[in-house]
A and B are shown apart, each in its own frame.
Chain A
């Protein structure tokens, strides 16, 4: 059910901005018990995210109330461009303005240190990401947030059940994935959420 989750309110995010953050990124530890693709995510976080600021990514480190690093996320602007072909008449484009949740990960060292904290990712999604989404939706008019998740059933369930992302029917998702290039096929899942559902 789509609704606003009452988060713990204990997390805040800092945009990476100096070399001390690069050191934190280099030490960031993603949970590695699912697939080798997760190793790819860890490599991206450790080696590429800091420099990706120049490519339009905005990366934030998430801290708890004691200043411990609990997670990380990256956003950037995006768009969905639909080449619509009516049965009669010329084709035209519909465009959905969007944000991409490029990276979303809990720091595994933190999760292992605090096993009683069951909703770290969900809490910092609502504490740190939703305020950004809400602001963009209200002040700029952006419509959708989407992501390409690693195609792991537990992870997909987490995005859908805990963070209220939606999936497309398989034949529609296929259309999107087929346009992404070979590295995406069958390795990821497209999920989306309309930003009107995150307004505070």
Chain B
């Protein structure tokens, strides 16, 4: 199936394209989802 796992950007405009895409975001304070992540307790060994 067609698709692009990687998009390669080179040449003199590369830096400019990178800056344009990254600057299109919204400035936010550091993201915190508030989620707590923990490992499952291992099953008891009999």
Residues of A that sit less than 8 Å from B by CB: 2, 44, 48-49, 52, 55-57, 76-86, 94, 96, 98, 100, 102, 135, 137-139, 141, 143-144, 146, 148, 166, 168, 171-172, 175-176, 179-180, 183, 190, 192-197, 199
Contacts and interface: CB of A to CB of B under 8 A. Distances in A.
Interface in B3-37: 3-18, 20-22, 24-26, 28, 31-33, 35
Given A171-B13, A175-B14, A143 B7 contact: no
Given A85-B14, A94-B15, A175-B17, 20 more contacts: A77-B5, A78-B5, A79-B5, A79-B6, A79-B7, A80-B7, A80-B21, A81-B9, A82-B9, A83-B11, A84-B14, A84-B15, A85-B12, A137-B31, A168-B20, A171-B13, A179-B7, A193-B24, A194-B26, A199-B31
Which 4 residue pairs spanning A and B have beta carbons closest together? A194-B25, A83-B10, A196-B25, A138-B33
B38 to A, nearest CB: 14
Interface of B: 1-18, 20-22, 24-26, 28, 31-33, 35
B4 A81 contact: no
Contacts of B12: 85
Contacts of B8: 81, 83, 179
A80 B9 contact: yes
B14 A82 contact: yes
7 contacts: A81-B8, A85-B10, A85-B14, A100-B4, A100-B5, A148-B4, A168-B20
A175 B11 CA distance: 8
Contacts of B3: 57, 76, 100, 102
Given A168-B20, A176-B7, A183-B2, A197 B25 contact: yes
A72 to B, nearest CB: 14
B7 A83 contact: no
A175 B13 contact: yes
Given A96-B18, A166-B24, A175 B10 contact: yes
B7 A81 contact: yes
Given A83-B10, A171-B13, A94 B4 contact: no
A58 B7 CA distance: 19
B32 to A, nearest CB: 8
